[in-house]
């Protein structure tokens, strides 16, 4: 027992010593810690509303157990939102996750610094554009009356029947996925490029001496060195797989296509903010978060079984 207590005291002393030594670096953690406390930990008290009948006038009512969840799962609108959420999230995962890896490998092969920096800038810039600005750009591109793309189609083929993809149920999901990949790929690309810069260049020199070409170097050195980074980012991405992107869906939604892209987050917004059914909105959010946590733990467990050095826990 004394050994355990002494070990804990030693770890605390070492932590305090490290904080004093690198206090400037630890100070950079403060904004992030404050953010998570204010917006993630303190609001956890509101989770209790999922098990109580909340009234705007009377406040939290009596405990009703899982009655709110039963009412939630019986609603057709929630079933539709859950189905759309799963479909859109999986499509974003399948189509979006490999793109940053491919882009980083391609950019890494560019030897000239000027075009390499220009391409990196062009890839990362969309990540800083608001989805409401992107929705305006898409409207300007696909608007049937004055859009750029319909105008080009009519110029090439005057008799063509042009459809606005932003109001077409058959194409709106493709618009959501393609615009997401274009907007989000840059941040992941920067992460992988940073990991590639840490690879020992002597490995490539040895591979060249052994006669390995570019493809073999990429497969056996670059991708092999990125494996742990890929696994960790994949775990994080799977954990947020139920987060189908509120900003994007909210910006692109309209009455003609809402049945195809309405997700849990937009359902929570409509139910909680517009209809003041706070108990059901909280239950929907808690349901989504529980699935995300389960997926993180499951994916991490599988990753640890495949490679003991992988995983985040």
Write down the mean pLDDT value for the chain.
84
Write down the pTM of the prediction: 0.81
Say if CB 249 and CB 132 are below 8 A apart: no
Rounded mean pLDDT, 304-311: 67
Per cent of the chain over pLDDT 90 is: 11
pLDDT reading at 311 higher than 70: no
- Residue 37 in domain: no
pLDDT score of 11 more than 70: yes
Would you place residue 87 in the very low, low, confident or very high pLDDT band (cuts 50, 70, 90)? very high
pLDDT band with cut points at 50, 70 and 90 for residue 177: very high
Residue 219 lies in a domain: yes
Answer yes or no: is 147 within a domain: yes
β-pair partners for 59: 55
Lowest mean pLDDT among 179-183, 204-208, 308-312: 308-312
Specify the pLDDT at position 80.
Answer: 93
Q: Residue 3's pLDDT is what?
A: 55
Count of the separate structural domains present in the chain: 1
Q: Each residue of 125-167: pLDDT tens digit?
A: 888 888 989 988 888 888 888 778 888 888 888 787 788 888 8
Q: Is residue 292 part of a domain?
A: yes
pLDDT higher than 70, residue 4: no
Answer whether residue 313 is part of any domain.
no
- What domain range is 91 assigned to? 72-306
Select the more confidently predicted residue: 11 or 252: 252
Write out pLDDT tens, residues 33-80.
999 898 888 888 888 888 887 777 676 777 888 888 888 899 999 999
Whether 21 is in a domain gets the answer no
Kindly state whether residue 42 falls inside one of the protein's structural domains: no
Please check the confidence at residue 115 and state whether its pLDDT lies above 90: no
At residue 34, the pLDDT reads 93
pLDDT average, residue stretch 193-210? 83
Backbone angles phi, psi at 54, to 5 degrees: -90, 135
**Percentage of residues of the chain with pLDDT beyond 70:** 94
CATH number of the domain to which 148 belongs: 1.10.3720.10
Most confident stretch, 55-59, 90-94, 198-202, 270-274: 90-94
Band of pLDDT at residue 207, cut at 50, 70 and 90: confident
- How far apart CA 35 and CA 47 sit, in angstroms, is 19
Whether 155 maps to a domain, the answer reads yes
């Amino acid at each position: 027992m004394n050994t355990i207590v002494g070990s804990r005291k030693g770890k605390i002393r070492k932590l305090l010593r490290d904080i004093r030594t690198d206090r400037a670096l630890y100070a950079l953690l403060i904004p992030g810690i404050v953010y998570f406390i204010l917006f993630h930990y303190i609001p956890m008290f509101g989770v209790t509303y999922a098990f109580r009948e909340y009234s705007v006038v009377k406040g939290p009512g009596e405990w009703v157990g899982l009655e709110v969840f039963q009412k939630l799962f019986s609603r057709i609108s929630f079933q539709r939102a859950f189905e759309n959420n799963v479909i859109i999230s999986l499509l974003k995962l399948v189509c979006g996750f490999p793109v940053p890896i491919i882009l980083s490998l391609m950019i890494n092969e560019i030897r000239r610094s000027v075009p390499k920096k220009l391409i990196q800038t062009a890839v990362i810039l969309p990540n800083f554009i608001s989805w409401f600005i992107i929705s305006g750009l898409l409207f300007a591109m696909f608007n049937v009356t004055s859009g750029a793309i319909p105008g080009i189609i009519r110029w090439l083929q005057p008799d063509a029947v042009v459809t606005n993809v932003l109001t077409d149920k058959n194409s709106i999901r493709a618009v959501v996925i393609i615009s997401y990949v274009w907007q989000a790929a840059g941040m992941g690309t920067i992460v992988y490029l940073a990991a590639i810069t840490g690879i020992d260049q002597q490995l490539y020199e040895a591979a060249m001496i052994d006669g390995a070409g570019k493809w073999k170097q990429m497969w056996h050195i670059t991708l092999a060195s990125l494996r742990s980074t890929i696994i960790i980012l994949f775990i994080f991405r799977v954990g947020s797989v139920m987060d189908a992107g509120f900003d994007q869906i909210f910006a692109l939604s309209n009455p003609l296509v809402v049945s195809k892209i309405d997700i849990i987050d937009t359902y929570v917004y409509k139910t909680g903010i517009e209809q003041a059914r706070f108990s059901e909105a909280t239950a929907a959010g808690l349901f989504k978060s529980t699935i995300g946590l389960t997926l993180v733990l499951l994916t991490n467990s599988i990753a640890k079984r495949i490679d003991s050095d992988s995983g985040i826990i």
